[in-house]
Structure 1
Amino acid sequence: MVVSSLYVSLSGQMALERRLETVARNVANMETTGYRADEVKFDSLVKRPGEDPVAFASTGKTYISTQPGEIKQTGNTLDVAIEGEGWLGIQTGNGIAYTRDGRFQVATDGILRSIEGNPILDNGNAPIVLDPLGGSPEISKDGTIYQEGRQVGVLGLFSIPQNAQLSRTGNSGVIPDTLVEPVQDFTENGFAQGFAEGSNINPIAEITKLITITRAFESTNSMMQSVESIRQQTIKKLGEG
């Protein structure tokens, strides 16, 4: 049991290390527009079923939280925030990705691009092209873009299934492992021009997690030292016998 206790404690420290990595990453991206926080799901692994089963902590499974962030007014006509569900489509070097960062720029060729320079896509996954000399665009709730009263494009809004596994790309982009569908209902979903969505990271919650992780690590380390002391004493007594 002494050896098992050491392994259980070690598995706990490995899980805490994984949790600490996610907290550090979240804190570093608190001010990143549209960033989605990392979370970790832990399970216990029963290694020895029976009268005295031994449960080990798994190293944890990291996933990306899709909870919305705070929407703030910027007054910039090339900024849009997504209200409700949905993601913007962007063309990246790794294929099509999705983001909640709606800060745009218009290139000299007229292509509407993200702040990172990736083309913004319509519902058909085609780049949106504006008139570089056509003045500031007006963007309606359903994503329709107007310049000087003339419709010039429509922003794509895409729905990612809740059970999709997401991987990161760029500052705030994600790539799902499943197909996405264009959003058709703009009753509760849509765009708000002149606004931008911040990260969905709660600073107070992250600090609380950091304190909890630190205390848990100290407690686990203390227990490992106690177990090792017992082991050494046992070996010594056996040697004397």
Structure 2
Amino acid sequence: MENASLVALSRQLVLRRKLDVIADNVANITTDGFKRQSLNFEEFAMPKARANTFERPDRINAFVSDWTTTTDFSTGSIEQTGNPLDVALGGDGFFAVQTPEGERYTRAGSFQIDQTGRLVTSDGLPVLGEAGEILFEADETGIEIGANGSVATTAGIKDRLKIVSFDDNRLLEKIGDNLYDPTTAAAQPAPACGCCRDRWSVRTSPASRK
């Protein structure tokens, strides 16, 4: 295979990956709390893979490679929903949720109550308070989520949403559309004082709407 064919193939593979990332951003443009991603790529030369290793000499191989994707954590637009279980989180904080693999983090605040009375995400993952999972009794009504993350009913305050932040969001690994996992010890969560607005929902990152 000649240099030109190898270079063209590397560019096609990167272009396909870029289109996949763009398609995912577009598909999730109305997804609550979704953060768009962008593909980072670079061109590099292979000094030892010169023309004399191919049938027809021409030039040094210069390939294109995608080496990482980055997530845009800027705050998206917020929309009023009227649902007391919808929470828009201001600042750089994340809600903590429980998954089968352990604690993970999300910006998506469209919550609901499952059949067992737990506060859960739209995917059914338990939302964590400072004391653990948040449970409601069958006769509890008037659920309100305060600006400081407090969760209350007519029976009183139940708990406070566990809200955390990270020194560097770039160290978070994206899992699916809305979950994030710290990848190193340097990315461990710290308590945060995010401002919550109930009956509001954060939509996708601004650039995803362009």
- What's the TM-score, normalizing by structure 1? 0.73
Q: In 2 relative to 1, CA 90–108 (structure 1 residues): closer, same or farther, beyond 3 Å?
A: same
Q: Counterpart of 2:108 in structure 1: which amino acid?
A: D
C-alpha separation between the residues in 2 aligned to 1:149 and 1:97?
29
- How far off is 1:203 after superposition? 4.9
Gaps of 5+ in 1: 206-241
C-alpha separation between the residues in 2 aligned to 1:180 and 1:172?
17
Cα deviations across residues 160-196 of structure 1 (Å, max 9, x unaligned)? Answer: 3323141314x4222221321221xx3xx31111101
Q: Which has the higher helix share?
A: 1
Q: 1:182 aligns with which of 171, 184, 191?
A: 191
Q: 1:197 aligns with which of 184, 194, 202?
A: 202
Aligned partner of 2:4 in structure 1 is 5
Cα deviations across residues 98-138 of structure 1 (Å, max 9, x unaligned)? Answer: 111111122343321112211110235x1112333221222
C-alpha separation between the residues in 2 aligned to 1:12 and 1:123?
48
C-alpha separation between the residues in 2 aligned to 1:177 and 1:106?
30
Q: 2:144 aligns with which of 131, 134, 138?
A: 138
1:30-179 equivalences under 5 Å are: 30-48=29-47, 54-123=61-130, 126-148=132-154, 150-160=156-166, 161-169=168-176, 171-178=177-184, 179=188
Asked if 2 retains the 8 angstrom alpha-carbon contact of 1:167 and 1:176, the reply is no
RMSD: 2.4
- How far off is 1:94 after superposition? 2.6
Q: Secondary structure at the match of 2:84?
A: coil
Q: Secondary structure at the match of 1:101?
A: coil
**Identity of matched residues, %:** 27
- How far off is 1:62 after superposition? 2.4
Q: Secondary structure at the match of 2:141?
A: coil
C-alpha separation between the residues in 1 aligned to 2:43 and 2:130?
43
Q: In 2 relative to 1, CA 84–165 (structure 1 residues): closer, same or farther, beyond 3 Å?
A: closer
Asked if 2 retains the 8 angstrom alpha-carbon contact of 1:73 and 1:195, the reply is yes
Gaps of 5+ in 2: 51-58
Aligned partner of 1:233 in structure 2 is none
C-alpha separation between the residues in 1 aligned to 2:159 and 2:138?
13
C-alpha separation between the residues in 1 aligned to 2:199 and 2:165?
22
Larger radius of gyration: 1
Runs in 1 of length 4+ with deviation above 4 angstroms?
A: none
Asked if 1 retains the 8 angstrom alpha-carbon contact of 2:94 and 2:105, the reply is yes
- How far off is 1:71 after superposition? 0.9
Q: Which has the higher strand share?
A: 2
Cα deviations across residues 81-103 of structure 1 (Å, max 9, x unaligned)? Answer: 10111111111223222111111
C-alpha separation between the residues in 1 aligned to 2:19 and 2:115?
44
Higher alpha-carbon deviation: 39-48 or 76-85: 39-48
